[in-house]
Structure 1
Amino acid sequence: MTYRVCLVCMGNICRSPMAEVVLRQTLTDRGLGDRVTVESAGTGGWHVGDPMDERALTILEQHGYDGAAHRARQFTRDWFDRYDLVLAMDRDNLANLRRIAPSGVEVQLFRAFDPAAEEGAEVPDPYYGGREGFEEVLALVESASEGVAKHIADEID
């Protein structure tokens, strides 16, 4: 049985695809890659079909990750049935997901699994900034991915 995770941000071209690539690698490094599927999506649909933001892709590549295959998708209500874990990058997208979630479905913040993060910590949107914002996002998702991987390992073992 495959455990399925979806990471969600606004447009699915910066934060959530970066987190998808990093979490997938983290899980692979821990021997869980064949038991977990990691995907990402956005709450908005204006980038559907677009590749990852070039700045995000460049930062990932410079740190040894490959995000070239990514294409943006939009998360819809019927997707909740597909996933065991749905994680939002920020409180706005968390609220958007909770608004459409079926009764009893829990959605959490991605950084809730980062032991170094304060309660309610978010992954900030780097879209309107420069390189440093994308570097910050990478550092945050790398840190949180460790905790998410531990959580998933506990869930499936």
Structure 2
Amino acid sequence: MSFDRTLDESALFRICFVCTGNICRSPMAEVVFRDLIRKSGYVGAITVMSAGTGDWHVGEHSDARTIAALEAHGYDGSLHRAKQFDPNWFENLDLVVVFDRSQERILRAWATSEQDRGKVQMLLSFDSEQAAQVDVPDPYYSDAAMFDNVLGMIERSSLALFRQIEPGIRRGTP
């Protein structure tokens, strides 16, 4: 599997958001982070993609509730197609952001070096106000309100992550 249009290897900083099935949390984060990149003028400097630890949704759109929550907040998540994370991607990524401890364990187990294990970070760890919660809940078995709640968590943490990356990008060094 290739990165298709989702990873510009020439970018200064490359991020992959990884959840379980790549139809709820990680596509939300990808869309939110792409919007931050676009609005800040860093298209081409930071590239972002998303994937899942499992393969059961590969090729599918995001969950309809994900798309609806994104649309309600002014984002377009309609183009997303789920894919599974490939451990060979580690070498081309600077950061692999996960949403819960289960994904963290899986990705760190798939990493073949300490350097790659160190790339795996929990999303909420970037936001001091949410870090104590540790996990972003999976809204899949819940209602539309939970999707909105999760999107809010992702927006806040993504902005905190972006603010940590942005000074290095501005200087031209990741």
- TM-score of the aligned structures, taking structure 2 as reference length: 0.86
Residue 89 of structure 2 corresponds to: 79
Deviations 1:28-59 (A, max 9, x none): 22222331111000000000000000000011
Residue 42 of structure 2 corresponds to: 32
The 5-angstrom pairing of residues 1-157 of structure 1 reads 1-2=10-11, 3-104=13-114, 105=116, 106=118, 107-119=120-132, 121-156=134-169, 157=171
- How many residue pairs get aligned? The number is 157
Stretches of structure 1 that go unaligned for 5 or more consecutive residues are: none
Q: Give, in angstroms, the shift of residue 68 of structure 1.
A: 0.6
Q: Identity, % of aligned pairs?
A: 45
Deviations 1:106-154 (A, max 9, x none): 1110111112113462211000000111001110011001111112213
Three-state SS of the structure 2 residue aligned to 1:86 is strand
Q: 1:20 and 1:78 mapped to 2: Cα distance? A: 20
1:64 maps to amino acid: G
- TM-score of the aligned structures, taking structure 1 as reference length: 0.95
Stretches of structure 2 that go unaligned for 5 or more consecutive residues are: 1-9
For residues 63 and 148 of structure 1, do their structure 2 counterparts lie closer, same or farther at Cα, with a shift above 3 Å needed? Answer: same
Q: 1:120 and 1:103 mapped to 2: Cα distance? A: 28
Three-state SS of the structure 1 residue aligned to 2:131 is coil
Q: 1:29 and 1:115 mapped to 2: Cα distance? A: 23
Q: 1:118 and 1:152 mapped to 2: Cα distance? A: 18
Q: What is the RMSD computed on CA atoms of the aligned residues?
A: 1.2
Deviates more, 1:142-151 or 1:6-15: 142-151
Q: 1:140 and 1:110 mapped to 2: Cα distance? A: 9
